[in-house]
Structure 1
Amino acid sequence: MTIDPNNSPLTTEQADTLNRLLETLEPRQFDWLAGFIAGWQASLHGGLATEPESTSTTRLPSLTVLYGSQTGNAEALAESLGHRASARGITAKVVDMADYKPRQLKNEAYVALLTSTHGEGEPPDNALDLHEFLHGRKAPSLAHLKYAVLGLGDTSYEHFSQTGKEFDAVLAKLGGSRLVERVDCDVDYDDAAEAWFGSLLETLQSEAGAAGLPTSSGNPAYGALASGGHDRRHPFPAPVLDNLVLNGRGSGKETRHIEISLEGSGLSYQPGDALGVYPQNDPRLVAAIIERLGQDSDAAVKAGDIDTTLAGALQHHREITLLTRPVVERWAELSGSDTLQALVEDHAKLSAWMESRDLFDLIEEAPVTELDADTLVKTLRKLPARLYSIASSQAAVDEEVHLTVAAVRYEAHGRRREGVASTWLADRLAEDDSVPVYIEHNKHFRLPEDDETALIMIGPGTGIAPFRAFMQEREEREADGANWLFFGEQHFHTDFLYQSEWLAWRRQGLIDRIDVAFSRDQEEKIYVQQRLRENAAELWHWLEKGAHIYVCGDAERMAPDVHEALLDIIVEAGGKRREDATEYLRELARQKRYQRDIY
């Protein structure tokens, strides 16, 4: 920003002089200069400040809040932190890492960095450039910088909160100093984030000697609620309207189309958003665990702030089908098991052992002879919501939301296993039963504003869900942009999800191309990435004409394979070197033309 003499009381010469000075100042010099001017102005009035008596003459530091977010959680927390800071008189600027110029860090004095971790310890897509810059040779000295890091993650993953840890370490390596210690949050992050907010803002106030300024913002950690509103802390009990099996007879898959009413909730969503669903554990597994431990299912316990029974806590409030490192570590202490302790001390072996095991397996491996119900509940982490990509456009279905859910069932370690939310939705919900839900907004998976923009949609399996929403929305908007779908599943005759809808859109001309890969319909398995390579020249033509690419589905195998296929296409059809292809795809991501909703 520069001073325009035409819009200020300064002469041209004064404006030019001041502009040249401002270009050379560092953030702390700005703060000092502002304080000096305030003091000098006060001296002109006999030492009296020109502000009202209730206003402090202490100038608080400016805070830049950067967020790296794949699904929207870190973004929502960053925005809440910005509101909290402003309520305390701290100037706060909240910035998406994708929109932040990394070199600007050398001009920052105070930075709060909030980030999730994606996939196998990778930064979220919008954090890649900043992460890469800080770990590269061009990273500047940040000896002037004071910073704080909040990491979001999931302790069931091996590389828990890895990106937050890496940002914290590299900022310190470059000379930055921590305002507060990094906090790594599990999936139930509200309380930990709340405490981190408080510590950070108090530290910022003390930096300026700002005792006596406001200390309460009145905003919850996850954003403010309007009257009667619903969010992840206050879900809406939504009635189930319909629950249909999408697969044909004889399929090895069970994929459900579930329609849920949002009438009276005030909730709204856009194509690309997700629905958060709070599930229930299988009462049969709950009963088996209680019986194995010799506990009383009706024993009174507290699950956080909730008074309930042991059975109620295990069914509704605690994770029992998924083991995490903190739970196993605590169980090793409670049981005194040498075998379990040896596993805890070997990270790789513990990760392998926990795979597909649950609380019942843990009890079988290391029985605890003396365990009260409250200790059991406190040992387990909260049962988190499950996120599902929304398969409908609100413009088309009004006060409804549709989901595409694959029921997870498999055998492991001699027992049948089931997905918590998917089998609850598939097996134990009847019409008019209620599901606690909220909307998880995802601005990183959005249709382009220009309805003439072409879309390339890659969504095998339940990854088809958001693209059904995209097409419903484009149909309602009478969008002219071309649409190309890549879909994959096992068998054409039984697993082509929403086949009649896609073919109807094809006949209407809404869909220009559909390329499918049914892996089990021939001897050699075929997947969507092979279909992409087969259409390399045409895909490159669409990209060069401005098409947007969307990928939805499995993060472990499908998404990396599709990414590699896209790189190969850019090299082969675009005639680029590998490193140039990587930068080309990265630039598409910066322009919001390459977006992924992967899990």
Structure 2
Amino acid sequence: MSERTIAAVALVLAWVVFTGVLVRRRPGVAEVHEDGGILVVHASQTGFATELASRTADVIHAGGLGVDLRGMDALTPAMLERASRVLFIVSTTGEGDAPDVASLFRERVMRAPLALQGTRYGILALGDRDYVDFCAFGRDLDQWLHAGGAAPLFDRVDVDNGDEGALRHWQHHVAHLAGATAMEDWSRPAYRRWRLAERRLLNPGSVGGRCYHVALVPEDERDLAWEAGDIVEIGPRRARGDDTVLPHREYSIASLPADGALHLVVRQMRAEDGTLGFGSGWLTMHALVGDPVDVRVRRNAGFHAPADDRPVLLIGNGTGIAGLRALLKARLARGHLRNWVIYGERHAAVDRLHVDELERWHAAGDIERLDLVWSRETRGARYVQDRLRIAADGLRRFMDEGASIYVCGSLAGMAPGVDGVLRDVLGDAAVSELAAAGRYRRDVY
């Protein structure tokens, strides 16, 4: 047996052992098969698929059936082959990629069909039609299940940017399946009323889009409750006094509840005709300081900081500083100082999106290593992925010490570039293992 084959076998065995860890179960697998219950599997990048999976499990439970709820990182081929009915709630990230928690399943299990002739399934695929590969992972999963002989319980339900009509359609299917048809329709939890407390231009003179620090305060102080890494949903308006319902927009939170306000870093986005985007237009121009803002905070456990004091590598660019800033604040509040930050923007003099804060933390020893990359001022390592490649030896040492990696920022260029460097330096299998173990986490857009 070749060394490559031995290594591959070892990786598969390690993955099988790892996927024996349950994320959440209600009740166990044996009970599900005994009472005709349903296996519910979720794969989420920002936490929304996990939330919907929990709601789906509640509907099944209300119908009197057993339900086994688990993340795709805790799903094994044997579980699928034993299951008679499976519901998948999965999102798509990047350029049609599976969420990070599902990357190992896709690479190891979805490489070839399983024998699933006795399995019936349903898929709720989450995506955004603004991206070319709309719901790509959900579609790939559908084709893979079909190739293994599994039969659909109903047509795949594709959801565009949280569309409530599509979610109600899914709920109807699930309720009918579970015999719980009397349940009220789902709707997103209601927005809470907050107010715009501060808006400050962060990059005057930049050649890029105007970028603002935005601070929101709740009318009810009990709403100051979230963890670093969570997501905020904003209900935008066209202008003051215009109550037209517009699609919600999501932003990485840049602060902690202890700061007394929810901070955002918002770049003005413009369409080809020059009109401002819904969310950025509302937050950076239309709403005035003191105006009400519709806010909903959504838990995103997949981007929370580690509870222990392990080393952490934080990589980002542009408005990705928001998510990195919150994670750093959480780390510093716990006294965890083994932080390496690689952050990039255009010009050092004007594109300082909270960079002064990073430099103060570094000078105080709260950040162990700080690499700032200015793309318009450097001939060689112009981008964060270039700086990461140059620091390959330091990256290997950091990972050998048990570090976790967090990436926040641009989906175009930065995120795939960083991923490519990680795979070149650490190896494809190692990066997939890191993602499955929660040591490689991304909030990219």
Provide the TM-score with structure 1 as the length reference.
0.66
1:405 aligns with 2:261: no
Check if 1:392 corresponds to 2:255: yes
Q: Which runs of 5+ in 2 are unaligned?
A: 1-27
**Aligned counterparts, 1:160-559, within 5 A:** 160-205=134-179, 215-217=181-183, 221=186, 232-249=188-205, 252-264=208-220, 266-267=222-223, 268-281=225-238, 316-317=244-245, 383-394=246-257, 396-398=258-260, 400-409=261-270, 412=272, 415-450=273-308, 452-479=309-336, 481-522=337-378, 526-559=382-415
Structure-2 change in CA distance of 1:166 and 1:253 (3 Å): closer
Name the amino acid aligned to 1:435.
V
Residue deviations 1:439-496 (CA, integer Å, cap 9, x gap): 121111111111x2111000111111111111222222222x4001101011011112
Assess, with a 3 A threshold, how the Cα gap between structure 1 residues 517 and 177 changes in structure 2: closer, same or farther. Answer: same
Output aligned runs, 1:118-197, within 5 Å: 118-137=93-112, 139-197=113-171
Partner SS state of residue 533, structure 1? helix
The aligned counterpart of 1:380 is: none
Check if 1:77 corresponds to 2:30. Answer: no
Instruction: Read off the aligned partner of 1:280 and give its amino acid letter.
Output: R
| Distance of 2:92 and 2:307 partners within structure 1 | 28
Q: Deviations over 1:3-49 (max 9, x none)?
A: xxxxxxxxxxxxxxxxxxxxxxxx999889x6xxxxxxxxxxxxxxx
Contact 1:251 1:494 (C-alpha < 8 Å) held by counterparts: no
Match in the other structure for 2:432? 586
Q: Which residue identity does 1:316 align to in structure 2?
A: T
Q: Which moved more, 1:267-276 or 1:125-134?
A: 125-134
Pairwise CA distance, 1:265 = 5.9
Q: What amino acid sits opposite 2:442 in the alignment?
A: R
Q: 2:29, 2:202 → 1: CA distance? A: 61
Residue 32 of structure 2 contacts residue 67 of structure 2 at CA under 8 Å; is this kept in 1?
Answer: no
Counterpart AA for 2:256: S
How far apart, CA to CA, are the structure 2 residues paired with 1:29 and 1:269?
36
CA contact (8 A) 1:122 1:162 kept: yes
CA contact (8 A) 1:547 1:593 kept: yes
Rg comparison, structure with higher value = 1
How far has the Cα of 1:234 moved from its partner?
1.0
- CA deviations over 1:159-203 (Å, ceiling 9, x no partner): 222222222222122111222222112224333222322323323
Number of matched pairs: 417
Are 1:180 and 1:203, in contact at CA under 8 Å, matched by a contact in 2?
no
Distance 1:531 1:133, change over 3 A: closer
Q: Does the residue aligned with 1:243 lie in a helix, a strand or coil?
A: strand
How far apart, CA to CA, are the structure 2 residues paired with 1:384 and 1:563? 30
CA pair 559-28 structure 1, distance change in 2 beyond 3 A: closer
Residue 495 of structure 1: SS of its match in structure 2?
Answer: coil
Deviation at 1:251, TM superposition (A): 5.2
**1:448 alignment partner, SS class:** coil
Partners of 1:521 and 1:66 lie apart in 2 by 47
Counterparts of 1:486 and 1:588, CA distance in 2: 19
| C-alpha distance in 1 between matches for 2:290 and 2:29 | 60
Alignment map for 1:97-108 (pairs within 5 Å): 97-108=72-83
Query: How far is the alpha carbon of 1:215 from its aligned partner?
Result: 4.1
Aligned position for 1:290: none
**Percent same amino acid at aligned positions?**
31
- Tell me, in whole angstroms, the C-alpha distance in 1 between the residues paired with 2:78 and 2:405: 28
CA distance in 2 between partners of 1:566 and 1:462 (Å): 22
Question: What is the CA distance between 1:510 and its match in structure 2?
Answer: 0.8
